[in-house]
């Protein structure tokens, strides 16, 4: 299987472990990721106003460029996935807006590219039962909680990955890797997101609530797909430890790190050398 691949800005810098482990796992599963030869930032977020199209230029350019490599575009970052999926939805629904965008870009694009996340490729193309059969290192000592956050699943009409209130795709993946999966009641709540820049105290409260809940569940790790969630939750633990010496830290890991580890990668290859459970 060959898929066009858009890494996005964060995976080239702060979230290298997400990129590196996903590439390792994809290769192990026979999935060839063909990185777009030239790409720029997706824009981060699709603009919420509907009377301007300039905020869609970046993601639509990426989608148009993908056509030279195929009809499916895989991405890993939750923000990139959300941005590209929603821009694609808008292009498909808004004929006049599509015409203006393609005229501005001087590139044809009709919404024909399918944006996919590695999670749905594992579910729909590989299959979780088939994946279970390919596991070389069952992760039966890992007690983990899935954490979806806000943007991987919402808005459902435009994303359509899984039930936005009761998702199961991460749970099913982790179970196929042999993990002990804990029901985490706050798995679709916000970590604070970009409020970490404008209202850091509020973002800290959001992250602290999630971390304390995860610690009460007795997990080794929270498993996420989102670089910003990973950053907010990881960095907030230092603050909590400074205020509460009894707080037990929780590892904040990318799903792809556990995937690659279960498929045979060494911990050092996917950034897990210091987070292996006993």
The answer to whether 143 and 19 have CB atoms below 8 angstroms apart is no
Q: Say whether pLDDT at 278 is over 70.
A: no
Model confidence over 180-236: pLDDT tens digits? 999 999 999 999 998 888 888 888 899 999 999 999 999 999 999 999 999 999 988
Q: What is the pTM of this model?
A: 0.95
How far does Cα 143 stand from its chain's mean position? 20
Q: In the numeric block, which tokens belong to residue 198?
A: 């404008």
Give the C-alpha separation, 119 to 173, whole Å: 8
User: Would you kindly state where each structural domain of the chain is located, as residue ranges?
Assistant: 2-118, 128-266
Looking at residues 101-109, what average pLDDT do you find?
97
2-118: CATH class: mainly alpha
Q: In the numeric block, which tokens belong to residue 262?
A: 């279960």
- Look up the CATH architecture of domain 128-266: 3-Layer(aba) Sandwich (3.40)
């Amino acid at each position: 299987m060959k898929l066009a691949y858009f890494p996005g800005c964060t995976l080239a810098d702060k979230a290298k472990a997400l990129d590196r482990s996903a590439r390792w796992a994809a290769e192990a599963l026979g999935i060839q990721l063909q990185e777009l030869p030239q790409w720029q930032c997706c824009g981060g977020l699709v603009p919420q106003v509907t009377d301007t199209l300039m905020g869609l230029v970046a993601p639509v350019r990426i989608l148009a460029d993908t056509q030279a490599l195929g009809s499916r575009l895989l991405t890993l970052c939750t923000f990139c996935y959300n941005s590209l999926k929603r821009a694609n939805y808008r292009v498909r629904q808004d004929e006049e807006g599509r015409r203006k965008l393609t005229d501005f870009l001087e590139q044809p694009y009709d919404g024909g590219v399918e944006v996919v996340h590695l999670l749905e490729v594992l579910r729909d193309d590989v299959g979780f039962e088939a994946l279970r059969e390919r596991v070389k290192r069952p992760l039966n000592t890992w007690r983990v909680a899935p954490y979806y956050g806000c943007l991987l699943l919402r808005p459902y009409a435009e994303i359509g990955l899984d039930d936005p209130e009761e998702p199961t795709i991460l749970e099913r993946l982790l179970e196929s890797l042999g993990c002990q999966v804990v029901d985490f009641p706050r798995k679709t709540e916000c970590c604070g997101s970009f409020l970490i820049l404008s209202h850091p105290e509020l973002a800290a409260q959001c992250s602290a609530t999630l971390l304390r809940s995860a610690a009460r569940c007795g997990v080794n790790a929270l498993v996420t797909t989102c670089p910003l969630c990973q950053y907010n939750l990881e960095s907030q633990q230092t603050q909590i430890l400074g205020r509460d010496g009894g707080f037990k830290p929780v590892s904040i890991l990318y799903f792809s790190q556990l995937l690659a580890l279960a498929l045979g990668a060494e911990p050092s290859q996917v950034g897990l050398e210091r987070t292996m459970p006993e």
